[in-house]
Structure 1
Amino acid sequence: MPEDRLNRHTIRSHGAKVARTHMHDWLILLVLAIIDGILNVIEPFHRFVGEGMMTDLRYPLKDNTIPFWAVPIVAILLPIAIILVYYFFRKDVYDFHHAILGLLFSVLITAVITDAIKDGVGRPRPDFFWRCFPDGKGVFDPVTKDVRCTGDKTVIREGHKSFPSGHTSWSFAGLGFLAWYLSGKIKVFDRRGHVAKLCIVFFPLLVAAMIAVSRVDDYWHHWQDVCTGGLIGLAISSFCYLQFFPPPYDKDGWGPHAYFQVLANTSSNNSDNFYAQQTEVQIVSVCIPPHHDGDNVQINRLDSNPTLDGSQIARLH
């Protein structure tokens, strides 16, 4: 498909129409955001944590190297900025709208899945001991040896949300989608062997991986937590990207499905109109019976002017 026709579809000319077409998708995004908000405020499952299990949960309680507020900036705002830059070059509202919609779906679906699993599993974080007993004095049930936490309830509740890592899943969802997006735009699989393109694609994944590493270094997560979070984010981002765009190795991998559908419909309509005009000309031509040489001359004139109406045809007789 020709890329030079992209400038026909801008936000001003087609933005409102595209947004109305996908109004239900935006409503679903709102529902996902509400669900994730609820999952973040409900109490997670408090699984049994015996006195003997505390040996592996005594890591220091540290601050986050990557704070919570920074994750949406890296996973959402940074990809949106790159998508916006591409729009300024191509002026394709279909690419702009579907890329942002796919990105938000990727992150929010990942967030809902991650937080639902967190609440259901209730795995203690590596620093759970100091969350549970900030004074360092452990208190346990005399019979079951289960913990009897004496710390702040909010801190303890957060201590039961180790599996999987939310920082990691969000990062791989947003930056994983960006990696897919970039690979299509720069045609990384064009079979020309430019390995430098792969470095561009891998860079967002490297950033996501370093965020995942920071979660282990800060003792907020076990290594299994970040591995699972990364897989969730990558899987969801792949599904969401392929919902709106062809695979990057496809010949049309640089643009969204919707753009090519619009081109196909436009070409089909133009072909139908051209065929209808040709048929009308042929019908007008054969409806005038030749009687003598003068009529033949008039018929030739009629054939050369296929736009004559019925009254003009009557006068020719």
Structure 2
Amino acid sequence: MREVQLGQHTVKSHGLQLARTHMHDWFILLLLLLIEVILYVIHPFYRFVGKDMMDDLKYPLKTNTVPVWSVPLYAVVLPILIFLFIYFRRRDVYDLHHSVLGLLFSVLITAVITDAIKDAVGRPRPDFFWRCFPDGKDVYDAFGDVICHGDPSVIKEGHKSFPSGHTAWSFAGLGFLSLYLSGKIRAFDRRGHVAKLCIVFLPPLAACLVGVSRVDDYWHHWQDVFAGGILGLAVATFCYLQFFPPPYHTECWGPYAYFSLYRSLMARCQLTM
């Protein structure tokens, strides 16, 4: 019987073909990016904040332990660097393309959902009092609602507590990376290698610590962080399973496209025999 060999599929040999095949996917990514920019710019819902609510919103206004600029670095750039490392070892452009595409979908879908909910809910952050009244002198209208006299951009950001964007992004990117690594090292091959699970659990642990920092910095209530984590992890799982088999599957180490190509070549060889 003739042996079927796929050989290497590199960016140079198959990259352009893959890009053309998935052109609509990349177009949708650009559309998601545009929607995310719009959602970030528009003003959130300014809900009623009365004096009796201020006891829970008087936490100190602190800087971020995890800066905003660092989130794309560890949630997007770091996973892509790991994807590239595996690509240079295996020379499988299908794996590289689908992992990058799945990661970007995971992060951008999460970002759009997160900011849409933020704008619609408009929940005040735990430090809202000092955003609204930086001099500590609170003022209210005839209905008991706040009359803020702080920096408008700071006040706007103060109405974006639910859900946590840092946490959602972290679980969307690092959660996808965890699923990817579990497939590559076959963490659930029933051979009892607990060390593999330690590798798989590292990215979610980092995401959890980011979520904890958001509560410690008084930028979010614990419910915001919990909801952001669930949202990011759920989207990451759905996006991963669009391109790769589940981590417990026997073919978990490669994308669906790789095995589809392999089976088509097998069928072609059998017809020519």
**TM class, shorter-length:** over 0.9
Q: TM-score, normalised by structure 1?
A: 0.84
Unaligned runs of 5+ in 2: none
Residue 231 of structure 2 is matched in structure 1 by 232
Check 1:272–1:105 CA distance in 2 against 1; reply closer, same or farther (3 A cut): same
Residue 246 of structure 2 is matched in structure 1 by 247
Q: Which amino acid aligns with 1:46?
A: Y
Q: Give the deviation of 1:29 after TM superposition.
A: 0.2
Q: TM-score, normalised by structure 2?
A: 0.97
Residue 258 of structure 1 is matched in structure 2 by 257
Residue 158 of structure 1 is matched in structure 2 by 157
* 1:22-70 deviation per Cα after TM superposition (whole angstroms, max 9, x unaligned): 0000000000000000000001000000011001000000110111100
Q: Within 1, Cα distance between the matches of 2:257 and 2:136?
A: 59
Residue 138 of structure 1 pairs with residue 148 of structure 2: no
Residue 55 of structure 1 pairs with residue 55 of structure 2: yes
Q: Within 2, Cα distance between the matches of 1:231 and 1:24?
A: 28
Residue 92 of structure 1 pairs with residue 108 of structure 2: no
Residue 69 of structure 1 pairs with residue 77 of structure 2: no
Equivalent residues of 1:36, 1:111 under 8 A apart: yes
Equivalent residues of 1:7, 1:92 under 8 A apart: no
Q: Which amino acid aligns with 2:150?
A: G
Q: Within 2, Cα distance between the matches of 1:129 and 1:183?
A: 44
Unaligned runs of 5+ in 1: 275-317
Q: Give the deviation of 1:269 after TM superposition.
A: 1.6
Residue 218 of structure 2 is matched in structure 1 by 219
Rg (Cα) greater in structure:
1
Q: Within 1, Cα distance between the matches of 2:174 and 2:251?
A: 22
Residue 114 of structure 1 is matched in structure 2 by 114
Q: Percent identity?
A: 67
Q: Give the deviation of 1:7 after TM superposition.
A: 4.2
Equivalent residues of 2:211, 2:225 under 8 A apart: yes
Q: How does 1:1-317 map to 2 (within 5 A)?
A: 5=5, 7-141=7-141, 143-274=142-273
SS in 1 for 2:250: coil
Equivalent residues of 1:6, 1:91 under 8 A apart: no
* 1:185-239 deviation per Cα after TM superposition (whole angstroms, max 9, x unaligned): 0000111101110000000001000011110011000000000000000000000
SS in 2 for 1:8: coil
Equivalent residues of 1:186, 1:197 under 8 A apart: yes
Q: Which has the higher contact order (CA 8 A, sep 6+)?
A: 2
* 1:101-148 deviation per Cα after TM superposition (whole angstroms, max 9, x unaligned): 00000000000000000000000000000000001000001x311000
Equivalent residues of 1:7, 1:90 under 8 A apart: no
CA RMSD after TM alignment: 1.0
